[in-house]
Structure 1
Amino acid sequence: MESISQTLQTKLEMLNWDFNKRCEKHKSYFLFDYNDNLNSRCPVCYCEGMTKNVEQQEAEKALDAERLKKYNTLKKLSILQDETLRAIRFSDYKPTNSEEENNKNEAIDFFNRYRNGEIFNLWIQGLNTGVGKSHLGMSILEELNESDAKDRSCLFIDIARMLELIHDSFDNKESHYTQAYFTDLLGKVDFLVLDDLGAETGDIDSKKKASEYTSKVLRSVMNSRQDKATIITTNLPSAKLKQMYDGKVMSRMMRGVKSIVFKESIDKRPSEVGF
C-alpha cells in the first residue's frame, strides 16, 4: 500500500513544473498554469496572494457588518416617547418665525461641525413645549447617521422613559433594560441625544430635586461620555437645572457647551379641543 508521502510525491511529479524559473523568496520552482505551458509562477507566492485576498475580503465584510451595526443603532435602540420623531429631518422642520428659522440654521451649522469632527455638548432649551427642540435634536442625529460613510453610531433617549424601563427591570428579571445596559449603551455611541431633561421629576414648576438614583444614572452616563458629543433638550433654565441636579452631573453636561435657545416661540402642535 502506497504511503501518504509516496502519494504526495507522485502528485507533485504529475504537476507541470517550470524548472527554468525559480522563486528567490521561497526557493521553489515555478509551476505552469493549468493547460498553459507558457505562463508559470511560484505556487507559494500564488497561495500567499490568495490567502491575503481572502483575509482582505473577510476584513471588509467585518467592517461592513460593524458599519451596519452602527447605522442601525439609531433606529433599533433609541427610546422615544413620541414615535413621530423617528426618521425626522431638517427638511421636516417648518419655521413659523425668525427665531425658529435662526435656530434651525444654527442646528444645521452644529450638525456640520459635528460632521467635521468637532466634539462638544449642545443644549437645546426653551421654556415652552412643542417648539421643536426634540425635532432639531433628532434631525442632527438623522443627518449624521445618513452622511458620509455611515460609520457613526447615533442614539436618541427619552430620559423619563429610560428611567421607567430601568425601574421596571428591578422586578422584571426578564427585562434587559437595566442600569448597566443603558450606561454601557449610552457610553459607547458617538452621538447621543438626552431628551427632555427635567420631565422625569414631574411638574417643571415644582421645587423638586432629581432623585439620588436619577443623578446616579445620569452621572454614570456623562462620566463615560467626556470624549463624545451629547445633545440635551430641556424646558428648564440653567438656574433651575443647577438647583435640581447633582453638581457633578451638571459639570459634565456643561463641558464644552454650545446652545440653541427658544425664547419667543410657542407650541406649534395643533390643538383640537376647541378652546
Structure 2
Amino acid sequence: MIQPFENLEHLKQLDELCPIHGVNLIQIDRELKMAGEEKPRKPAPYCPMCAKERIKEKEQQVIEHNLNAAIYQKTYNVLMRDSTNAQELTEASFENFKAETPEERQFLDFAKGQVKKYLDGMNGNTLLTGGTGVGKTHLVISIAKELNEAYRAKGEPKSVLFINLTEVLRDIRESFKFSSKEGYYSRMLKEVDYLILDDLGVKLGNAQGQSKSAWEEEFIFDVLSHRKNTIITTNLSNDEIANLYSERVASRIRTGLEGNFFKVFSIKDKRYSINTLKGGRQ
C-alpha cells in the first residue's frame, strides 16, 4: 500500500477502492478543523495514488509557470523593459496616428502592412525616411507594439526592442566603462528578434554630412551584420546615407528593402504632445 503521508498519524485503510487506481482508500481517523467550517470533522477518504498525481501536477504547473516567466523575460517583456522610448510617445499607436492627408494614410497603411509581412514570416529590413516630425517614430513604436502583442497572442513571443540610436551611441561614448557598455548594447541589439533603430544618421559629435567615426561605423556594421529584421527611421536620403556611411554599412541598411521602404515627401511636422496621444486624434 502506497502512503504519500507516512509521517501522518491516525491513518486508516478502508475497504473501498479507488475507481481509477484500484487501491484502498485512506482516511485520517480523527476529527480536524476544516477551513471555513465551524465544527471539526473527519476528512474525506483519499486515494494515495491520486494524491501523488495531484502533487506532481502542482509541481509541473510551478515548473511551467517559471519556464513561461523565463521565456517572457527574454521575449515579450523586452520592449517595455529595455527600450529607450521617447516619453511623449509611450502612448503611440496606429489608432492615434493622425492620418489626414492621402500621403499620411499611405504612410499608416505602409506601417500596418509591414507588421503583417513580418507576422507572415518575412525577413529583411524596413526603412522609413523623411524630415523631422513627420511621424516616423510614432509609427515604428506602433509597429513594435503590434509585433510584440501579436506574437504573444500566437503563443510564440518574440523579443522586440525600440532603440533611439543617437541616445545609445551617446550613452556608450560617455560611459566611464566604454567597452563594457558597448558590449552590453551590442549583445542586446544583435540578439533581439525585431530591432527598431530610430534616428539613424543624426549627428553625434560630427557636423551633419561628415562621415561617421570609425568606431560608430564599426558598431553599426557589427550589429546589422548579425541581424535579419531591423526597422530603421532616418531623415537621410539614400544618397546621404551613402555619403555618410561606408558602402558596407549602407549595403547592410538596404538589406531586403525591396518593397519595404517608404519616403515621406510632403507631410508637415506632426509631433505630438502626450495629451494629444492620450486623447486620440485632434
Alignment TM-score > 0.5, same fold = yes
Say if 1:217 and 1:72 are closer, same or farther in 2 by CA, change over 3 A: same
Q: CA deviation at 1:158?
A: 1.2
TM-score normalized with structure 1 length: 0.75
**Matched residue type, 1:252:** R
Q: Output aligned runs, 1:1-275, within 5 Å.
A: 15-17=11-13, 30-32=24-26, 34=28, 41=47, 43=48, 46-64=51-69, 66-67=71-72, 70-80=75-85, 82-126=86-130, 128-147=131-150, 149=152, 151-169=157-175, 172-173=176-177, 178-201=181-204, 202-204=206-208, 206=209, 208-226=210-228, 229-257=229-257, 258-269=260-271
CA distance in 2, matches of 1:269, 1:15: 73
Say if 1:252 and 1:44 are closer, same or farther in 2 by CA, change over 3 A: farther
What are the Cα deviations for residues 176-230 of structure 1, in whole angstroms up to 9, with x where unaligned? 97111101111222221111111035554x3x1111101111122112323xx21
Give me the CA root mean square deviation: 3.4
- Structure 1 SS opposite 2:92: coil
**Matched residue type, 1:118:** M
CA distance in 1, matches of 2:7, 2:265: 84
Say if 1:33 and 1:266 are closer, same or farther in 2 by CA, change over 3 A: same
Residue matched to 1:6 = none
What are the Cα deviations for residues 67-87 of structure 1, in whole angstroms up to 9, with x where unaligned? 26633322232224x421223
Question: Alignment identity in percent?
Answer: 30
CA distance in 1, matches of 2:23, 2:95: 66
Say if 1:21 and 1:233 are closer, same or farther in 2 by CA, change over 3 A: same
Say if 1:198 and 1:17 are closer, same or farther in 2 by CA, change over 3 A: same
Q: CA deviation at 1:20?
A: 9.5
CA distance in 1, matches of 2:244, 2:24: 78
Q: Which runs of 5+ in 2 are unaligned?
A: 1-5, 30-41, 273-282
Of the structure 1 ranges 183-192 and 108-117, higher mean CA displacement relative to structure 2 is found in 108-117
- 1:157 touches 1:193 (CA, 8 Å); kept in 2? yes
Q: Which runs of 5+ in 1 are unaligned?
A: 1-9, 271-275
**Matched residue type, 1:152:** K
Q: CA deviation at 1:15?
A: 4.7
- Structure 2 SS opposite 1:139: helix
TM-score normalized with structure 2 length: 0.73
- Structure 2 SS opposite 1:156: strand
Q: Where has structure 1 moved over 6 Å in runs of 4 or more?
A: 10-14, 18-22
Q: CA deviation at 1:164?
A: 0.7
Residue matched to 2:37 = none
Residue matched to 1:4 = none
